[in-house]
Amino acid sequence: MAGSGEQEALVGNKQVIFKDFVSGFPKESDMFVTTGSVKLKLPEGSRAVLVKNLYLSCDPYMRALMKPQDANYGSVFTSYTPGSPVSGFGVAKVLESGHPDIKEGDLVWGVTTWEEYSVIKAPETLIKIQHTDVPLSYYTGILGMPGMTAYAGFYEVCSPKKGEYVYVSSAAGAVGQLVGQLAKLTGCYVVGSAGSKEKVDLLKNKFGFDEAFNYKEEHDLNAALKRYFPEGIDIYFENVGGKMLDAVLLNMRIHGRIAVCGMISQYNIDKPEGVSNLMNIVYKRVRVEGFVVFDYLQQYSKFLDTLISYIKDGKITYVEDIAEGLESGPAALVGLFSGRNVGKQVVTVSLE
């Protein structure tokens, strides 16, 4: 491959390609890994940024992008293009920049593409990483989009008060583990649910939840919630939807709040399950509020300062599940929907 002139900069670029729109559960085979090529040089006058991807984030919203564009989520996402690489959040190192605020060598996080090298055409959406005394992968999770989701959802949407009863579903995940810890720091009583014994142990012994249970072992979710919340739930941080939401509605306290972050149990079924116990919203005067992290990005630097100091002071802990190499990306991504990940699911592309 050694050559001269323009060709010198052309290198192999391993990529994860999205095959075609998916219905039902996504499978590893809905993506494939291939090697394209990329010119490690921006065209003259380009305002884009050329990056080397270091860490990629597996996030549940990526499932929605595997469907044809839908007007209902059009305000938030744009679907993937079949035959093109998967995109998602990641941490990357800048190799060349056409943008005045970003320079070679900068570390950034933001939306990138599942490949070794990417040309990012909207570099203004990237956030420069200033604190490098924490693992860089944290910017895909606790210090990135999912962390900001937990923070905004908990403080801005849940209106928490000391002493309140808080329930978090999918509690061992990227968002849930932080929500539970923030709730504990606020002085709440916190119960989490997750899908395995290992995760339940993490919740109780590592993240400091007051109680935790494996929802897969509960035949009657209503009874399980009554057991953990004999006085009812003030705040439900909703990550899963469906039957869990229906059971929670039966257990809300007066003036309770439900922050609707996501409903992962519904993402792979064509017609979402119906939720029936909605009259409890009236009886219990419940506020159910959906939110999208992107509406809170102006709070990012405040969030970052808070979280970095919590992490350094040992007040907050964090568990990641790291898959090595782009080849492991498809399995890691689809694993979110079977609960394979223990903690935040990350894919490493390169260690520097």
Ligand X SMILES: NC(=O)c1ccc[n+]([C@@H]2O[C@H](COP(=O)([O-])OP(=O)(O)OC[C@H]3O[C@@H](n4cnc5c(N)ncnc54)[C@H](OP(=O)(O)O)[C@@H]3O)[C@@H](O)[C@H]2O)c1
- Residues of this chain that interact with ligand X (CB under 6 A) are 59-61, 146, 149, 170, 172-176, 194-196, 199, 239-240, 261-265, 282, 291-293, 336-337, 339, 341, 344
CA-to-CA distance for 312 and 305, rounded, in angstroms?
Answer: 11
Restricted to residues 266-325, the positions that interact with a second copy (CB under 8 A) are: 266, 271-292, 295
The answer to whether 163 touches 142, Cβ cutoff 8 Å, is no
Per partner kind, with CB cut-offs from 5 to 8 A, the member of a second copy, ligand X, none near residue 21 is none
Token duo for residue 57: 């984030």
* Least distance between ligand X and beta carbon 49 (Å): 24
* Least distance between a second copy and beta carbon 250 (Å): 7
* Least distance between a second copy and beta carbon 69 (Å): 13
DSSP type of residue 268: T
Per partner kind, with CB cut-offs from 5 to 8 A, the member of a second copy, ligand X, none near residue 170 is ligand X
Q: Which residues, 6 or more positions from 133, have their beta carbon under 8 angstroms from its beta carbon? A: none
Cα torsion 266, 252, 287, 263 to 10°: value is: -10
DSSP type of residue 349: S
Per partner kind, with CB cut-offs from 5 to 8 A, the member of a second copy, ligand X, none near residue 59 is ligand X
Nearer to ligand X, 54 or 157 (CB): 157
- Residues found in the chain: 352
CA-to-CA distance for 211 and 228, rounded, in angstroms?
Answer: 7
Nearer to a second copy, 140 or 265 (CB): 265
In the chain, the amino acid numbered 103 is K
**Per-residue contact track with a second copy, 46 to 85, x per CB under 8 A?**
--------------------------xx-xx---------
Nearer to ligand X, 170 or 186 (CB): 170
CA-to-CA distance for 237 and 167, rounded, in angstroms?
Answer: 6
Nearer to ligand X, 13 or 169 (CB): 169
Token duo for residue 173: 């995940």
Token duo for residue 135: 């693992």
* Least distance between ligand X and beta carbon 111 (Å): 13
Token duo for residue 78: 């744009």
| Residues binding a second copy (CB under 8 A) | 72-73, 75-76, 241, 245, 250, 254, 260-263, 266, 271-292, 295
